[in-house]
Structure 1
Amino acid sequence: MVRSGYDEQLDRLTGALAVMSREAAAAIRGAGTALLDVNREAAEQVVRNDAVLDQLRWDIEAAVPELLARQQPVASDLRLVLCAIRIAADLERMGDLAVHIAKVVQMRYPVMVVPPPAAVVVTEMAEAAARIAEKASTVLTTRDPLTAMQIGLDDDEVDTAQSRLLSLLLASWQYGVESAIDLALVGRYYERYADHAVNVARQVVYLVTGTIRL
């Protein structure tokens, strides 16, 4: 009976992580819409919804001491609890990075943050980050190490796009220093978002196999 209740708590923990992953994915999609469509409402929603991720992370971290105290956990339980804390931190940070992008849009509105010469590469970066977020959410649900490892390849795509964006900004940029700084920051936010998604995938691989790969 005690173990049954303990298992229910572990299930709630993994369920909260799944919700966090969906929120983080929605946040980066919303940030992309705000950025590329100059959509202030989308930016405001990303900023507003970040409170959900913050609360979920707090709930997960608050639940851990009780989980560990209820009974002596086996090795797999300990891995789950350890991974949950780390994954929650990464997902919460992913939400913060989406908020940073949204706030750039809010700060410059109604001026477009992404001038035409940068539209293609920023769109590629936004789409790759959204794809990574969806895969991270899937990995948390399925615990499939193969899908987790694919996220590393998508992260390379974001890194490549960021390098292209920086090269563009350094090559006779015609839209001023302020615009260049905004885009450099946006590129950095997307790159860090993807890195945290890779961290999530690494933790899932560790949870399933007991080793860190990726």
Structure 2
Amino acid sequence: MVPIEVLISSSAAYALSRIKAPGRGAIMNFIVFLHTFPGVLMLIALLYLLVQMGLYGKGVLTLIGVALVKVALDVPMSVWILKGFFDGIPWELEWAALVDGCSKFQVWKSVLLHIIKPGISAIAIFSFMSGWGEWLIAYIYLRVPEYYTFPVLLSSLVYEFRFVNWGLLAAMSLFYIIPTLIMYALTQKTLLKLQLVGAVKG
């Protein structure tokens, strides 16, 4: 889920930042609107879409469908963030790479993405945390216990009308936070760089 969101967001943000096309401002306003629009209001429409695509009630396919829905809901904010990073890169740097023989794709892949690595790390962390902690969409769309996500599984241990196994709940909660701690440890240096970038720009 994270690589898909990073790929889509970085591509769209680059296009919106560099291509001076008519209606670009309207597109950015629409992206902001999509980010502010409550995703819960689209659950029925998204469910209908998953049914039409054959991704509902199909086990693993439903899990993939839930991941795609989550990516679609998170992409607008990621595009908005990365566009700000692309806007901060001087055109001269891109022109210099083009003069040296790089294609547009090579400039985007080898030069610009490397420069905006702090921004990519930020949206990667956001995407991971948002997807890992997602409960509502998974609870509504995933009806087979074998494919429950961790938040749904934890809630099922508490909400069922029976004796709560607190030992099992505590153990599963510990496993639930381990990936978050690992993600933080891997991205701690990048987050510090992001803070420095904000301090310099501010």
Shared fold, TM over 0.5: no
TM value normalised by structure 2:
0.33
TM value normalised by structure 1:
0.32
Instruction: Identify, as 1 or 2, the structure richer in helix.
Output: 1
Larger radius of gyration: 2
